[in-house]
A and B are shown apart, each in its own frame.
Chain A
């Protein structure tokens, strides 16, 4: 199975900060990489797919880059609603895997 490793595990930031989360795959996943946001007690919400394509309705302050084995999620200016946990997901095959998550906390 393809292993996904996110860094950092926790990130403390302030409103207005630029935030970057990294996701690394144990082998190439091409561009088959998605990002999700999850708030406590809620289901995850798809933000980005195919590494850099913004899901409909997601604010443009979210962006994704990368290919192969290294990917990043960037929030250009952190908003109060963005404090949450973020997961990457590779879907290079039907057997998909998630990263362990990155919690974005208020500094």
Chain B
């Protein structure tokens, strides 16, 4: 059974940084592209970032490019999201998602990031 377990969400001040982690199990992590998707309170889904299976290529939404960095450690079956220069607009539940042929076929339970003074 595929399991994705996010962690690292927290309350952070504007301008601060946070690193999210996603521990994967139940599938061959190193052969799958992965993504982060977020959902602001009461709002819809917003794709944030993606990384290829090897980690060689990364992609970002315009709203986070230059502030966020996605990475992975295939030896640890773990996906990361480094978030810098956080603002109120970054407040959201952040989901880690397994990407198969472009679609998100498995999701974690999400981790809440709150940016507030």
A-to-B contact residues, CB < 8 Å: 1, 32, 34, 36, 38, 43-46, 49, 55, 87, 89, 91, 94-101
Contacts and interface: CB of A to CB of B under 8 A. Distances in A.
B56 interface: no
B107 A43 contact: yes
Interface stretch (B8-16, B73-81, B83-91, B97-105): B97-105
Interface of A is mostly: loop
Contacts, number: 51
Interface of B is mostly: strand
Interface in B17-56: 35, 44-47, 50
B44 A100 contact: yes
Contact of A43 (B46, B50, B101, B108): B108
Contacts of A94: 50, 57, 59
Interface of B: 35, 44-47, 50, 57, 59, 61-62, 95, 101-105, 107-110
A94 B50 CA distance: 7
Given A38-B45, A94-B57, A100-B44, 15 more contacts: A34-B104, A43-B107, A44-B104, A44-B107, A46-B103, A46-B104, A49-B102, A55-B105, A89-B103, A91-B102, A95-B47, A96-B35, A96-B47, A99-B44, A101-B45
